[in-house]
Amino acid sequence: MKKKLFIYFLTTSLIVGFLAYPRPVEAFSFGSELNWYFVPTKEKGKIPEPAKESISFLKDCNGYYLGDTSQKTLYLTFDEGYEKGYTSAILDTLKELEVPAAFFVVKPYIDNEPDLIRRMVDEGHLVCNHSNHHHSMPSVHNIEKFNSELNDVEEAYKSLIGEDMPKFFRPPMGKYSKESLEKTKELGYKTIFWSFAYKDWFVNDQPSEDYAIKKIENGVHPGGIILLHAVSKTNMKVLKTVLTDLKNEGYEFKSLSELPE
Compute the C-alpha angle 153/159/160, nearest 5°. 95
Distance separating alpha carbons of residues 229 and 126, to the nearest angstrom = 15
Q: Is 252 helix (H, G, I), strand (E, B) or coil?
A: strand
Greatest C-alpha distance within the chain: 49
Distance separating alpha carbons of residues 84 and 228, to the nearest angstrom = 14
- 206's CB contacts (< 8 A; 6+ apart) are 200, 232, 233, 234
Q: Please give the full DSSP string across 179-242, using - where no structure is assigned.
A: HHHHHHHHTTPEEE--SB--S---TTSPPPHHHHHHHHHHH--TTEEEEEETT-HHHHHHHHHH
Residue 164's Cα: distance from chain center in Å? 20
For the annotated catalytic residues, the residue numbers are 79, 229
Distance separating alpha carbons of residues 2 and 102, to the nearest angstrom = 26
Distance separating alpha carbons of residues 116 and 114, to the nearest angstrom = 5
Q: How many residues does the chain have?
A: 261
Please give the helix or strand (H or E) that residue 35 lies within, else none.
Answer: strand 34-35
User: Which has the closest alpha carbon to 198: 176, 183, 213, 178?
Assistant: 213
